[in-house]
Amino acid sequence: MTTCRKSILLFFYLINCLYIPSAFCQEAPMPKTLNELKSLLEGEMKRQHVAGMALTLVTRDSVLYAGGLGYADVENKVFATEQHLFRQASITKVFTALGVLNLVEEGKLQLNSRLKDLAPEIPFRNKWEETHPISIAQLMEHSTGFSDKSPMVESNFERKQMSSLETLKVFQNQMEAKWKPGNRHSYSAVNYAILVYVIEKITGKSFQEYMQEKVFSPLSMPRANVSLAVDPSDTYSKGYNWDGNRFQVVPHHPQYNPGYGSLNASATDFARALQAYLHDWKTPKGQFLSEQLLNDSQTPHTYLSARNGLQNTYAYGNESREVNGTVFRGHAGSIAGYLSNFLYNRELGLGFAFSINTFNPDFHRNATDLIAKFLTQGLDKPVAQVTYPLQLSAVNPFLGYYRLKSSPDLYLGYFQSLQNTFKLEKDQAALKVNFLLGGSVTWKAADSSRLLFTNEWAKDPRIMFLIDEKNQPVIVEDSMYYEKISAFEAWAPIALLLLSLLIMVSSFVFALVSTLILFLRGNKELSAYLLRFSSALATLALLLSLWTIPQFIDNITKGVPINELSLLWTLGRYLFIFFSIVTLVLLVLRWRTLKSRLLRGYMTVVTLSGCYLFAVLIISNWY
């Protein structure tokens, strides 16, 4: 349901920037040999301006390839090799979770342990703590209800030396449960920042030291580390962005906390890790962790859909993804200058990982598809998902309007929920999902006994109709959680938002025309002019703050500091309040001097529109 839908207004541009469509839509070719695969990848790297790539391909029995393509350092013409360390971003979570599971195996920690009992000094907020306490398992599965880190705290640009507890204070605004923990999945890197502190508190060791001793060394990953800073004596690749003419170096800015995105690893490191997974964690050094824990790490436990049998979703730092009809587990990663994948299928005995040192989502998607095709070409093609007739008596109570209720975004979550609002209707032998802001998709029944469905472009059923604890219908697609709402609840906030924006934007024309009329009439009262211009100035301030949102995303991908953008965002949102208040005060003071009913009515509507938008921004945590 994460299909790309566009809105014609700037307000929704800030949301659409999070759903960037792929420009590479053609069917990926089928490489027959390893050399052909490498040639195809190198051709695409050249065409799409990707500097370098670390690539790992394994089966259960052998390492097919572990090496580099292109350049680790463009300026000095240093080719990427199997030894170069690439930033792996969120793949870190796979290994942080392994660090937690090691403590579980050693009997030092339990998955159902309460965070409040383990670390009461962590400043998190959960108003349901007495009945729905936050646990270690929920942290690993992102079912705490915490918001994700915002662009403002993406990187530690000032390189402040901070303890793991001090870094949690950076995320204090995000550490508030938005719904009952254990109810739904909502991805938040902050959960893994918390796990780092728990690990360090229990072991008395730094996260880097602990991971080296208990995870990387047992898995024979000789180069891997979770250091926040680059070791100049080691062999790191450089990160890049293509500016249209040349590669620009992306500075290596550290993150605040190492637990969610600081992994640096080579192609050789990932070859060892992938083969450990394919051998049920049996390594040349012995059994890493128990096979039972391995199975648990791949099985979601803590949220509603997981408890009802939807298993191909997010588990302990381990997500599920369908590629060309084959389900892989692992994780993807994204950070300034880098994109990565770490994926395996234990049943098929296949795994692959790659990292590119240029931020290019199109190539990342294309390479994933190409590599998966190569690895699975000798296997039986996935059996087409059997579809079943709709059980109308079971489906009918679920028909109607739904809205996303699991956005992890602290500042854009409300707008993402509006964008992901749809109407579910019957469509012959299937169900039609029609998004209110454009776009549709078809769901087909995939089970005769449960309300389980498959997306029209997928083979793996990941859509489940459920009843929540309030006895209300909800729909879960993969990890996205939708609650049923009325038609009024679906349309009213969208209509009010668009109408309010349209009215506010009209204040530009009104300001120009009305001040010209005042001038021609010889009116010299400053307050009269201010009244007509204040709403336009409020709108301009609002547009300024909205304009910064896509710029934040752009700066993050380029590794550019955001201090100036943060200042503009803050300036815009507070000037919006200021001029909205000025408009309201002047309207009250000059009400009797406004002889035209049309003018009174328009100014009232503009003022109310500003108040409504202010309220929307308040509930969106902009103030």
Q: What are the boundaries of each domain within the chain?
A: 31-376, 392-485, 492-619
What is the reported pLDDT for 26? Answer: 54
Gap between the Cα atoms of 95 and 259, Å rounded: 9
Contact of 157 with 197, CB cutoff 8 Å:
no
3-class secondary structure, 73? strand
- Residue 6 above 50 pLDDT? no
Distances (CA, A) of 177 to 173, 410, 446: 10, 11, 33
In total, the chain counts a number of residues equal to: 623
Distance CA 261, CA 86 (A): 12
**pLDDT above 90 for 380:** no
* Residue 461 token pair: 């059923």
Tell me the HSE value of 236 on the side-chain side, using a 13 A CA sphere: 21
Q: What is the pLDDT of residues 96-136, one digit of tens each?
A: 999 999 999 999 999 999 999 999 999 999 999 999 999 99
pLDDT tens-digit readout, 487-504: 999 999 999 999 999 999
Closest CA to 314 of 257, 323, 305, 57: 305
pLDDT grade, residue 386 (50/70/90)?
A: confident
Task: Confirm if 133 and 181 have CB atoms less than 8 A apart.
Answer: yes
- Give the mean pLDDT of 587-600: 92
* Range list of β-strands (E), 391-439: 400-404, 421-427, 430-435
Could you tell me if 167 and 256 are in contact, meaning their C-beta atoms sit under 8 angstroms apart? yes
Query: What is d(CA 444, CA 441) in angstroms, rounded to the nearest whole number?
Result: 10
Q: Would you say the pTM of this structure is higher than 0.75?
A: yes
Give the Cα-Cα-Cα angle 102, 103, 107 (nearest 5 degrees).
Answer: 115
Which pLDDT value is given to residue 36? 97
Averaged pLDDT score across all residues of the chain: 93
Tell me the percentage of the chain whose pLDDT exceeds 90.
Answer: 86
Region 314-338: mean pLDDT is 97
Check residue 385 and give its pLDDT: 67
Q: What six digits make up the tokens of 564?
A: 């100036």
Is 31-376 a CATH 3.40.710.10 domain? yes
Distance of CA 457 to the CA centre of its chain: 21
Pair of tokens at residue 164: 């793991």
Give me the pLDDT at residue 29, please: 72
Rounded to 5°, angle at Cα 559 from 558 and 562: 105
Alpha carbon separation from 306 to 186, 311, 466 (Å, rounded):
13, 6, 11
